[in-house]
Amino acid sequence: MLKKAIVIGAGFSGLSAAACLAQKGFTVQLIEKNSYAGGRAHQRTIGGFNFDMGPSFYWMPEVFENFYNRFGHTASDFYTLKKLDPSYRVQFSNYEYIDMPSGIEQVIKLFESIEPGCAHKLTKFFKDAEYKYKIGMGEFVHKPSLSVFEFVDLRVLSSLFRMQLFTSISKEIRKTVTHPRLRQLLEFPVLFLGAKPADTPALYSLMNYADIALGTWYPMGGMVKVVEAMKKICDEQGVQFLFNSPVEKIVIKDNIATGVIAGGEEHYAHVVVSSADYHHTEQALLSPEYRTYNSSYWNKRKMAPSCLMYYLGISKKLVNLLHHTLFFDEDFDRHASEIYDHPVWPSAPLFYTSCTSITDEMSAPRGCENLVILIPVAAGLKDDSRIREKYFNVVIDRMEKLTNQSIREHIAVKYSFAYDDFVSEYNSFKGNAYGLANTLMQTAFLKPSMKSRKINNLYFAGQLTVPGPGVPPSIISGQVVAELIDKEYKYL
Ligand SMILES: Cc1cc2nc3c(=O)[nH]c(=O)nc-3n(C[C@H](O)[C@H](O)[C@H](O)COP(=O)(O)OP(=O)(O)OC[C@H]3O[C@@H](n4cnc5c(N)ncnc54)[C@H](O)[C@@H]3O)c2cc1C
């Protein structure tokens, strides 16, 4: 008998799960609250500017390629990938910035010119990071992590030691370089994607390997091209889409999910996968007796940041910016502490800008620039229009000074997105942008489980479960959950 699967949510993890389940022979219905696919990664066109609303760093290109290969495709069937070199700029003050080259050798050369004598230690740092990347991305991320026993095997245990789970990345970086600027350059990927470097296991130097060795890429047309590609693959596999249909309830009979209610209508299924935020699925779609985790569990989770974002259409060409620019002209540790230690609105935030029109002229009208500004802020802070305007003025003043040009008077389009929008648009817990922080106690089998412990045929995918936040992990999450379901349903 054909088995029917319902997937809730059409972000990367939901699209990935749906395509893989359909390929395995399930009849798949994907039900999405909004009118579009892509979730946090959708694109919005405002006044002729095409804004990618979420992710902008295309890292780990082989994860995308592996996904496409599964379906007989390759990335170039859907879009042209461009490698950015330099990968990004870090602006430290009016006159001081570092352009991060692409490639380990070039980065070592640059670091050596700033801190003579660090090349040897840096080479070791990248070698270790490569090992972690290869084991982490080759083996660990493909485990459903339902139990600690998946990791009890001599080879895995011996590699765990080298994976440096119990030492912090901040310590590891401090052993490698002493120059504060260089430390910040190495700490940036973990800070922006999930936790204070001092609380992040050194395992995550694999992100430095992804950043520096594998490079920063851009799909021409924007990150939405990946969404369109995955949607097309779902269509080819026969996935049925139901948009504008928030799931209101998962229907349970005798501890089995029999389907969901969306738009007042009941949809039946043999298996349900929720790729909507885990907290929302359990707390809003299930009654208390069917939840694996209660609200006290959620309140104790350390969340990755939320973001305050501005999408600006600029009616002239900008100078002194790269496609990706990080403004690190304020105190890094203070901002990190205001996100993670005692969550408050930042006193002097670091921020990041993405200017896609530098690489992709189609993302803005001719002669104009597409500028997105992102300020990472603690999850759960309430925002209002006064706060948004205050930080807008702070970052525009600083940008004008640091890049030596007028910007404010050339703004043709202005749109902001923050806490309230994350909640209303995606049902995001505490308005989180990137799910759970990457701390040791929230890694692998210590993350919210991919399978409900109360309902036998309810599964989860997405950035709040394994392997974690980011576009590549979300795509992998959908693949892993489909493998798990296929294994468990094969003989039923
Ligand atoms: C501003 C920002 C910048 C980022 N930058 C990067 C980056 O540069 N590189 C990178 O790799 N990652 C980045 N990330 C992280 C990355 O975008 C996410 O980890 C990833 O997109 C999450 O995918 P997902 O499928 O888990 O969740 P989502 O994309 O949130 O998908 C979940 C879907 O479920 C839907 N849904 C929710 N509730 C319901 C319901 N009741 N019924 C039906 N549907 C429902 C939502 O509408 C949504 O479409 C960024 C994220 C943000 C927000």
Residue 176 — pLDDT band, cuts 50, 70, 90? very high
**Atom of ligand 1 lying closest to residue 473 CA:** 19
Residue of minimum CA distance from atom 53 in ligand 1: 433
Q: Which residues pair with 460 in a beta bridge?
A: 274
| d(C-alpha 249, C-alpha 252), whole Å | 9
**What's the 383 CA to ligand 1 centre distance in angstroms?**
20
329 pLDDT more than 90 = yes
**What's the 248 CA to ligand 1 centre distance in angstroms?**
19
Residue 188 — pLDDT band, cuts 50, 70, 90? confident
Residue 183 near ligand 1, beta carbon < 6 Å: no
Segments of 378-422 assigned E as strands: 411-417
Q: What pLDDT is recorded for position 158?
A: 72
> Taking the CB of residue 157, how many other CB atoms lie within 10 A of it?
10
490 pLDDT more than 80 = no
Q: Which residues pair with 415 in a beta bridge?
A: 311
| d(C-alpha 229, C-alpha 124), whole Å | 38
Q: Give the residue with greater pLDDT, 477 vs 165.
A: 477
Residue 199 — pLDDT band, cuts 50, 70, 90? confident
The continuous run of DSSP H or E covering 395 comes out as: helix 385-403
Across the chain, what does the average pLDDT equal?
94
Q: Which domains does the chain have, with CATH numbers?
A: 4-40+53-72+223-301+437-489 (3.50.50.60), 103-214 (1.10.405)
| d(C-alpha 394, C-alpha 378), whole Å | 18
Strand 271-274 relative to strand 458-460, pairing: parallel
Once rounded to an integer, what is the mean pLDDT over residues 167-174? Answer: 91
Once rounded to an integer, what is the mean pLDDT over residues 48-53? Answer: 98
14 pLDDT more than 70 = yes
| d(C-alpha 489, C-alpha 209), whole Å | 37
Once rounded to an integer, what is the mean pLDDT over residues 8-18? Answer: 98
Select from 30, 87, 231, 434 the residue to mutate for testing ligand 1; criterion: most ligand atoms less than 8 Å from CB: 434
| d(C-alpha 333, C-alpha 274), whole Å | 36
CA dihedral (430, 434, 435, 438) positive or negative:
negative
Once rounded to an integer, what is the mean pLDDT over residues 203-213? Answer: 92
The continuous run of DSSP H or E covering 8 comes out as: strand 4-8
| d(C-alpha 462, C-alpha 316), whole Å | 38
Q: Which residues pair with 31 in a beta bridge?
A: 8, 242
- 18 contacts 27 by C-beta, under 8 angstroms: no
Closest CA to 85 of 96, 74, 101: 101
387 pLDDT more than 90 = yes
